[in-house]
Structure formats: C-alpha cells, structure tokens
Structure 1
Amino acid sequence: MAEPQKVHVGKVLPPRIVSPIDGFAALTQIVDAVQDCVKVHTVERTKQAHLAAYETVEVARIKAAESVLKNYFEQAFAERRSNFGELFDRLDAALDKGDSQVAQAVLNGIVDVARTSPLANLGDLGQIRAALDDPDHVWEF
C-alpha cells in the first residue's frame, strides 16, 4: 500500500528585497562565468587543432616510413630471390659436372644467405621502436 502523503507545515517568508548592488554583483558573476567559459572553450579548441595537426603530421610520417620500408623489402627480397636463383643454378651446374667441392661451397652460400634476414641490416629494432615513440625524433628519407 502506498504511504499517505506528508503535509509540510511552515511559514512563508516574505520576498527578499534585492539591492541594486546585489543585482550588479550577480550580473558580474554571470559575465565572469561566461568569459571563463569562452576562454576555456577557446583554449580547448586550440588544443584540438594542435592535436589534429599533430595527427596529420604523424600519419604522414608513418606513411612515408611505410613507403620506405616497403621499398626496402621489395629490393631486399628481389636481391635475395636473385641470389638464390643464381646459387641454385650454380649448384645444378656443379652437380651436373660432378664437382662436389663447388657444390659444397655453393650449398654453404645458400645456407649463409638463408640464415640472414633482410631485417638484420636495419639495425637494432629496439632503437627503431624508441625512435617511433620519441615525438622529437627527426626521420630522414
């Protein structure tokens, strides 16, 4: 069951008379609050513009680095493909001639090339990660 509504008993106060000074103080507070709000809005909008510009620059840097890395991989793997092709051709020729010393040397070359990674020539990947994390790092392409 619903509880019965309580009746509040009290006195009605007479209206407060606001002096012109109190009215002006209230107006001043409103003006100050609006000015502060406008300042904060302007500062935040400026921060957003800086972030948007930073984002544009960083995305462009990432895309440029990506392009360089893709080009590097294309060249490195094309070179490796060519090296492997030539080494296997020489291995076939050595096997056809029955030259076991040349076949062994060529096979060692194939294994040496297979052991190396195109990334090994890039250097320490930890340094690359640190450079990516450093907003002041200057990339040269």
Structure 2
Amino acid sequence: MTFLGIAGYSSAWVEDYASLTGPLRGMIKDTGTAQLHCNLTWTQGGLLAFETIKQRLQEAPALALPDYSKNFLLYVSTSVGGKYACAVLCQPTGTGMSPQPVSYYSTAYSEVELGLPLCYRAMVGVYLMYDKAQRLL
C-alpha cells in the first residue's frame, strides 16, 4: 500500500494511472485493507502493473505549467475494459505541434457507475474528469 501512496502522489505525471494500478488494488482488496503489514499474494498482472508504474514514473514527461492566457483542452476517454475514466488536460503550444500536457487524471468507476450503459458511463467519466481538472481551470 505504501507504494500506491507514493505513486499516487505522482499520478498526475502517469497517463492512465487508475487502470494501471487496478491489479495492485485488486491484490490488496483480496488480502484485506486492514492487513497493512501482511504478505501479498503476487499475481502476474500485479507484478506487471508494479513494473509498468515504476517504468512510467522514471520516464514521466515534463508537464507544462498552465498558461491562463491560453485555452485548455480536456481529452477524456473510458478505458478499454470500461472500468476507468482517464483524461489529459492540455494547452496548445502555438507552434503547430501537438498540445502540451498540463496534467493527467484517472479514476476507477464505482460499482453503481459500472452498472450504467457504456454511453452513460462515458458521460459520467466526462463529469468526473472535469471535476478533477477544476483545480487548474
């Protein structure tokens, strides 16, 4: 759990963070969150997630500082399995290049949200990601 706490602090620099940590959170849920110092039963998916997150944190791109004189672009998507909402907040560079990322956001859908049809879940994802981005907008 300590690793997820430290990695979570830097989640703004890791694209699709919530879906990457899903297998690790699943392992913790299976063990029980009250058992902070017990040994986890590592799964292949959990080990892959752990290594991927470590790699992504080492390669994290430089995020641009927000420039409030420019427009913001919020790109939102639902993960392939439909369990997570992901977004990247960008700003145009003015050089014709791709917009520069300012922050990444992601979250797991709740059990209630997972029960919604995919089109409604996508709208919930837009709301959740917009709500997270509010601190910079």
TM-score with structure 2 setting the length: 0.23
TM-score, length-normalised on structure 1?
Answer: 0.22
Task: Specify which structure has the bigger relative contact order, considering alpha-carbon pairs within 8 angstroms and separated by 6 or more residues.
Answer: 2
Bigger helix fraction: 1
CA radius of gyration, larger in? 1
Bigger proportion of residues as strand: 2
